[in-house]
Chain A
């Protein structure tokens, strides 16, 4: 019986090779042919002007493809095991599915929850503490963080220069095969900057293309009266920093924004996350402490805010929410999932 199994396995082998060699090359269902329209940065109807000026880093097909290859290449980490895409997965809107905090080289874990990626061109600063003031400088954070990718940008440049294919890809994207920090990060900015979320059910309803269900409509009304001061439409974030009353985790004691500004008034403040795609981007909060939206709403409505000098004044007593309001809110938040972004083949690893 055992032997039969081995024989069967041996017979299966050639079949398996064919199957998997094919699956490891480009998926025939995903055309890698991009048109200029595919890589055109656009400002969705109703959105404000973006913070990032793409005219200084014009997106090209070759630049976008280079950025995509870099985004998915574990070469960017010290032991060639972790890519940007390791913690930013497209099927959950580029968040890290089921991971509270970032995982890095050598099995290390960080202290902050890897956020989803969309509408980044509208952000003036990045990371939960806002420590990085520009989309182009952002990749250097995780690349050089010892518990994330643990590499130096100088070594990344050396590895890219020594690779068989990158020099010609830089030449195609930037006109010469010189590889610099600026070119690496501008290519990644071209790729990440095009991750625009503007076609959720919410967006379609706002454009009058479809209708909300009654419960979603009630949820929107509750959202606008009780949540929108920090999560204003259409980006669903005020891009500000707030202490939202979470008790500090004793093993981390994360001071948040204060770690950047050294200002005690910023203690335990974190950047307001956008609520777009919120239904698929759990776990939630800067340290991933909540796994469901119900837990998040229970925190805000429970009246057990961690009282401290920097607690947002709007949250001193929490936000009263009835059980019905909570279920309406969760129904509404579900309309913010943008399947166009999640399924867009041009963002997939090639």
Chain B
């Protein structure tokens, strides 16, 4: 009897504990919201340069879908479903040799978001600019400086959490040559330090063009980005042997060596 009474007490207590301690209701399936919801770009009226990142595969505009329509230097056919890269540390040099560096210069280009492909570098001094330099990826300092915001918010999906650091560039698609499940072809290029650091500098030549900045004109640089460069010089990528790559190391660095010359200036509108 005494024992039963004690048991009942325990049961009652357990039941009450369960109900009393039930946590505040949390929506088990909250509506997913895109953490990055940029408004349209604010188009400056002067003292700025616009860079229009225009993504291609060879001479064809990049289309993101599952139609196998492209071919790489190795002869593997493929499609592209996602294509993103960081552009950082942009600087311009003018015809007098002065170099101007953009402050907080971090931009995430997402081929599926046309707003992100149009970058305005503003508050520039007036002048005639004859060259550009930028980093493909994120410098090592920002990789080790704690949580960042804006383009560098880890919620943008361009951040590794177990081997912390930014994905400099990523391409996701499919290829009949792939040996992975669903014929996936996925290259996430990252690693910010050591011998296989994957940041690369690019200085695509302006050729015969200049970007003339005045207080009331905004030149636009048309910057072609050719996806096919990921797969060729100096390292031919064979999709059947490297179908998915998402760790730092020699393979990532080899692909970064390939794509470092994927940018070219096709024209500049003044």
**A-to-B contact residues, CB < 8 Å:** 1-2, 4-6, 8-10, 12-13, 16-17, 19-21, 23-24, 56-57, 74-75, 79-80, 127, 131-137, 140-141, 143-145, 152-155, 157-159, 161-164, 180-182, 184-186, 189, 259-263
Min CB–CB distance A55 → chain B (angstroms): 13
Q: CB-CB < 8 A to A135: which residues of B?
A: 146
Contacting pair A6 B8 (CB below 8 A): yes
A1 and B165 CA atoms in complex are apart in Å by 66
Q: CB-CB < 8 A to A153: which residues of B?
A: 35, 154-155
Contacting pair B21 A5 (CB below 8 A): no
Contact with A along B8-37 (1 / 0, CB 8 A): 110111001100110110111011111100
Q: Which 4 A-B pairs have the closest CB atoms?
A: A9-B8, A5-B4, A136-B146, A182-B147
* Contact of A8 with B145 at beta-carbon distance under 8 Å, contacts A17-B20, A155-B30 already known: no
Q: CB-CB < 8 A to B42: which residues of A?
A: none
B163 within 8 A of A: yes
* Contact of A131 with B162 at beta-carbon distance under 8 Å, contacts A20-B17, A80-B26, A159-B27 already known: yes
A8 and B194 CA atoms in complex are apart in Å by 70
Contacting pair B147 A181 (CB below 8 A): yes
* Contact of A181 with B146 at beta-carbon distance under 8 Å, contacts A8-B8, A143-B161, A157-B35 already known: no
Secondary structure call for the A interface? helix
A12 and B247 CA atoms in complex are apart in Å by 59
A-B contact pairs, 6 of them (CB 8 A): A57-B146, A80-B23, A145-B161, A158-B32, A182-B147, A262-B194
A181 and B27 CA atoms in complex are apart in Å by 20
A184 and B7 CA atoms in complex are apart in Å by 44
Contacting pair A159 B8 (CB below 8 A): no
Q: How many interface residues does chain B have, given as a range?
A: 35 or more
Contacting pair B21 A20 (CB below 8 A): yes
Min CB–CB distance B195 → chain A (angstroms): 8
Min CB–CB distance B250 → chain A (angstroms): 7
Contacting pair B5 A8 (CB below 8 A): yes
Contacting pair B26 A159 (CB below 8 A): yes
Q: CB-CB < 8 A to B162: which residues of A?
A: 127, 131-132, 141, 144-145
A258 and B147 CA atoms in complex are apart in Å by 25
**Supplied contacts A9-B5, A80-B26, A154-B32, 12 more A-B pairs, CB within 8 Å:** A8-B5, A8-B8, A12-B9, A133-B144, A137-B147, A137-B154, A162-B27, A162-B30, A164-B24, A181-B155, A182-B148, A185-B147
Interface residues of B in 121-160 (CB under 8 A from A): 143-149, 153-155, 157, 159
Q: Which of A5, A143, A158 contacts B5 (CB 8 A)?
A: A5
B184 within 8 A of A: no
Q: Which of A56, A127, A181, A261 contacts B194 (CB 8 A)?
A: A261
Min CB–CB distance A161 → chain B (angstroms): 7
